[in-house]
Chains A and B, each alone.
Chain A
Amino acid sequence: MNGEAVIPSEKIDVLYKRLYQEAEAAGYHLNPDQEFTRGLVEGLLTNEQRYGYWACPCRLATGDKQKDLDVICPCDYRDADLVQWGACYCALYVSDEIRQGERQAESIPERRPPEGQRLQDRPARAPARPGGEPALPVWRCRVCGYLCAREDPPAVCPICKARRERFERFW
């Protein structure tokens, strides 16, 4: 064995409940297949133990947070995959259709671009706009698209709970 500490099932329960409540409060849904979803929650906790952050359980993390930023759960690709496939890549999050059992979650193609073409690989963008600078900087959450005009991005996205480092300057 690899000597990793086993995640206690109470810890999985606590995080499962938290993610469930946060998802429902923000209009998202966890996969109703409890065994499947608990397995993914365990994967998130394993990755937290390994790397210090919630790298997607279904993607290979490097252990370098900056390189893995786009696949820290909820990943940058979740919302687009929910629209196209009804589930995110690992299928922790699903559409209402799948939650209702009208459609099954499936293993979907990888949307993440290859290394070197990811958002964190490109210089930070603050696009030029005609008409001068805004009164306040506008920040965009890369996970869910939430926008806010303030000096600095919030510590946690009020919609999808992504952390501050997932915000980009939008205007």
Chain B
Amino acid sequence: MPEAKGKVSGPHSENRIAFYGLSTCIWCKRTRQYLESEGVEFDFAYVDLLQGQEREEVLSRIRQWNPATSFPTIVINDTQCVVGYRPEELKEALGL
């Protein structure tokens, strides 16, 4: 089981990336593995492991970008959002 939230450091730190996932979701796991394999720096939160007020706050942040609040949701520089396991879209959006 991953930590509920945290930061992964990496050489690609030029973008501000927020990864929102579920700890039980394999598409989320694949997406995170992709980001890590590309050396991308990102903040992460697993919503199923958060509780109460904190969970609600994170959910309302996700909802702004992805009203269905489905996972994974990756928000890039507060300007762009990628939903689901989409390595090609991430590659393009992050300039990898």
A residues with a Cβ closer than 8 A to B are 1-2, 4, 6, 36, 39-40, 42-43, 46-47, 57-61, 90-91, 106-110, 112, 114
Instruction: Determine the chain A residues whose CB is within 8 A of the CB of B3 once the complex forms.
Output: 1
Flag if A39 contacts B49 (CB, 8 Å): no
Q: Is there an interface contact between B1 and A40, defined as CB atoms closer than 8 Å?
A: no
| Nearest chain A residue, comparing its CB with the CB of B66 | A110
Q: Which of A2, A57, A109 contacts B22 (CB 8 A)?
A: A57
CB distance from A39 to the nearest CB of B (A): 4
Shortest Cβ gap from B47 to chain A (Å): 6
CB-defined contacts of A58 to chain B, threshold 8 Å: 22, 24-28, 71
CB neighbours (8 Å) of B1 from chain A are: 1-2, 4, 6, 46
B68 adjacent to chain A (CB < 8 Å): yes
Q: Identify whether the interface residues of A are mostly helix, strand, loop, or mixed.
A: loop
Q: Would you call B25 and A57 a contact (CB within 8 A)? A: yes
Let me know if B19 is at the binding interface, CB within 8 A.
Answer: no
| Overall SS of chain B's interface | loop
Q: Of B24, B47, B85, which one neighbours A43 at CB under 8 angstroms? A: B24
Asked whether B95 is an interface residue with its Cβ less than 8 Å from the other chain, the reply is no
Bound-complex Cα distance A36 to B26 (A): 7
Given contacts A1-B3, A2-B1, A2-B49, is CB(A110)–CB(B70) below 8 Å?
Answer: yes
Question: Do residues B47 and A90 form an inter-chain contact, with CB atoms below 8 A?
Answer: no
Compute how far the CA of A57 lies from the CA of B72 in the bound complex, rounded to whole angstroms. 12
The reply to whether A110 and B68 contact each other, CB–CB distance below 8 Å, is yes
On chain A, the residues within 8 Å of B27 by CB distance are: 58, 90-91, 107
Closest to B85 in A: A107
- Answer whether residue B48 sits at the interface, using C-beta atoms and an 8 A cutoff: yes
Judging by beta carbons under 8 Å apart, are A46 and B24 in contact?
yes
CB closest chain-B residue, reference A36: B26
Residue of B nearest to A50 (CB): B48
- In the complex, the chain B residue whose C-beta lies closest to that of A40 is B26
Q: Is there an interface contact between A107 and B24, defined as CB atoms closer than 8 Å?
A: no
User: What's the Cα separation between A103 and B32 when bound, in Å?
Assistant: 23
Q: Could you say which residues of chain B place their CB within 8 Å of the CB of A90?
A: 25-27
A59 to B23, CA, bound (A): 10
22 cross-chain CB contacts under 8 A: A1-B3, A40-B24, A42-B24, A43-B25, A43-B26, A46-B1, A46-B24, A47-B24, A57-B22, A57-B24, A57-B25, A57-B26, A58-B25, A58-B71, A59-B70, A59-B71, A61-B48, A91-B27, A107-B27, A107-B84, A114-B67, A114-B68
